[in-house]
Amino acid sequence: MVSPGKLRLLTALSEDSLEELRPTIDEETGTVVYPDAQRRLDRSDGPVIEVLEELADHDLLVSDFQEKVYVCPQCETEGMRYTTVCPSCESPHTIQTEKYRHTTCGFEGVREQFADGNAVACPNCDASLESLEDLETGPANVCENCATVFEMPEHRLRCRECRHAFPPRETIEQVLYQYYLSERGARWVDEQQTARQRVAEIFEERSLDTEIDATVTDGAGEDVPVHVYAKDELLDDRVVAGVHERPTEADVRQLRETAAALDARATLVTTSGEIVGDDVGTLLADEELTVLSLSDGRLQREFQVTDEAGATDSFVGRIAGILRPQRR
């Protein structure tokens, strides 16, 4: 079931109060965050990046590549910094310079080894030279730690937290995306909002105090976000409603557990008219569970149960009434 937090996030994108979801990298910690998404999701939704990837996998969001960050394999801190190290001692204290080669004897060294004041000579064969232009030159690096002269340094990524440096292939690469609401996502949000509003109207018609996108407290004192919550304190009656496009057995089970924790009855709304699962019939037989489907903007009592592949309808269920009598 798409949680209230996820629907809240997609609704913000649909209503243009939020144009896109951009990643931000904390300069001190290197942590990758999506602050606009974080503010709208609930803690129970899980890691923000995983939520966004899930919504993109379901074609509700469109992802656009932004950049890559690297995660430390030692302490799992994100945002490693690029550096270079000496191939001999792996010290990062290296300096770019030029390498000189005396073609007569083949000796190679840095400028300071050939030039002493105004005199230029080969330190290997003692041959005097007119100038440094008599030598072949090329790029080089010198290590200030072990004095090794080398052409190319080794590539490393250094962790901001534990300070360990690793070859890039040993780190964890993470690709960052910017996310937009897809056309399907816009249509999907409209359906979910319509279903949520319709079930709320039914509760209100029955004089229940109704709240959309509510946060309630269960018997254990935990905050639980729900799509719709309705209650009548005088009659000690409570109903919790969950909305989903194609709810699965896991979705049905989660709604039942949430309702039980709130000592409430449950109403499940499917906007596709389908519930997915080979063995979901047993869960739907619960007397405290009402199932409705959205059709042409109206709620109805018919729904279909399909297998996981969605290829075969196993039965059509009819609910005797939208709401059972209130508790007395």
Would you state the pLDDT for residue 328? 29
Averaged pLDDT, 253-271: 92
Q: Tokens 């007397």, residue?
A: 287
pLDDT band at 318 (very low <50, low <70, confident <90, very high): very low
CA–CA dist 142, 5 (Å, integer):
55
Residue 317 has pLDDT above 70, yes or no: no
Bridge partners, 237 (sequence order): 232
Would you state the pLDDT for residue 27? 60
Residue 324 has pLDDT above 60, yes or no: no
pLDDT band at 39 (very low <50, low <70, confident <90, very high): very high
Could you count the other beta carbons within 10 Å of the beta carbon of residue 70?
Answer: 21
Averaged pLDDT, 146-150: 87
CA–CA dist 182, 60 (Å, integer):
5
Strand order in the sheet with 165-166: 81-85, 154-158, 165-166
Q: Of 145 and 106, which is predicted with more confidence?
A: 145
Would you state the pLDDT for residue 314? 35
Would you state the pLDDT for residue 11? 95
Averaged pLDDT, 94-113: 84
Residue 315 has pLDDT above 80, yes or no: no
List CB contacts of 196: < 8 A, sequence separation 6 or more. 7, 212, 213, 227, 228, 241, 243, 269
Q: Tokens 């279903």, residue?
A: 195
Averaged pLDDT, 2-29: 86
The torsion of the CA quartet 147, 150, 154, 155, rounded to 10 degrees, works out to 100
Both tokens of 182, joined, read 């897809």
Residue 322 has pLDDT above 50, yes or no: no
Nearest-CA neighbor of 216 among 261, 181, 175?
261
Give me the residue spans of the domains in the chain: 4-73+170-180, 81-158, 184-318
Nearest-CA neighbor of 90 among 154, 35, 144, 38?
154
Residue 69 has pLDDT above 80, yes or no: yes
CA–CA dist 289, 269 (Å, integer):
11
Q: What would the pLDDT profile of 17-30 be if each residue is shown by its tens digit?
A: 899 999 887 665 56
Domain covering 184-318, topology: Trna Endonuclease; Chain: A, domain 1 (3.40.1350)
pLDDT band at 119 (very low <50, low <70, confident <90, very high): confident
CA–CA dist 197, 15 (Å, integer):
16
